Structure 1
């Protein structure tokens, strides 16, 4: 026969072990959920950065092709809308290809529009902010051609 005095307190130890194991399990689930939430947030910021970079490219193409204005380091500020800044660089080269009429060369401009969007207040890319875990940056580049007379290539 087993003495009841020797078995006393076993239920408390078993309950403590179960509580500790459940606490560890809950902490692991919270940690995994937090990581997934951070990854989903960065994915959303990445998509917004790409759209901001595309908007910068479209704006640069409009300025180059319609307004005949190609500048470097133009800043677009979308901070009020989606917390992004965009740096747009426009460069072009002049080429002569073919002739408009015999003896008159056809002069063209080849534009390259480079837009970099990032979620900082300053110009992009921001090397100082790139070390932070919530920093997102996307680049979008477009190339276009126009004649110096304003027509399409």
Structure 2
């Protein structure tokens, strides 16, 4: 199987995004995922298998992560669906995980800001940032035979953030 986990962001406002920033984020977050999936998809044509894309809640709801990042993650969610549709007859399952904030080296500078951290916690029903080990179960499930009838889905691992209402 394949886990497409490469990702990065440059947090520019839409009016400030440069073409270089656009290309860098698109190449890292989306183009690489597609071409890795294509290559492994060729190898799975006879045997079947599982591809797991790491998307983001930013591909589902509007956030302050920046338009380019959000665009790549929304495209990845749609790419997951289309590849699942196209490759399902070959028993190749394609799913995605859409995380919210997790403690990682990339989020560490943001989470150090107490005001920003509180804003995250306030919109997360479980009231906290995720721990990396909490992504393991969903990833293992979607990649395993236990999910052999699951394809084209995005599982939001977000402490309930995407369903928060009033």
Relative to its length, the structure with more strand (as a share) is: 1
Relative to its length, the structure with more helix (as a share) is: 2
- TM-score normalised by the chain length of structure 1: 0.29
* Bigger CA radius of gyration: 1
- TM-score normalised by the chain length of structure 2: 0.27
Greater RCO (CA < 8 Å, at least 6 residues apart): 2
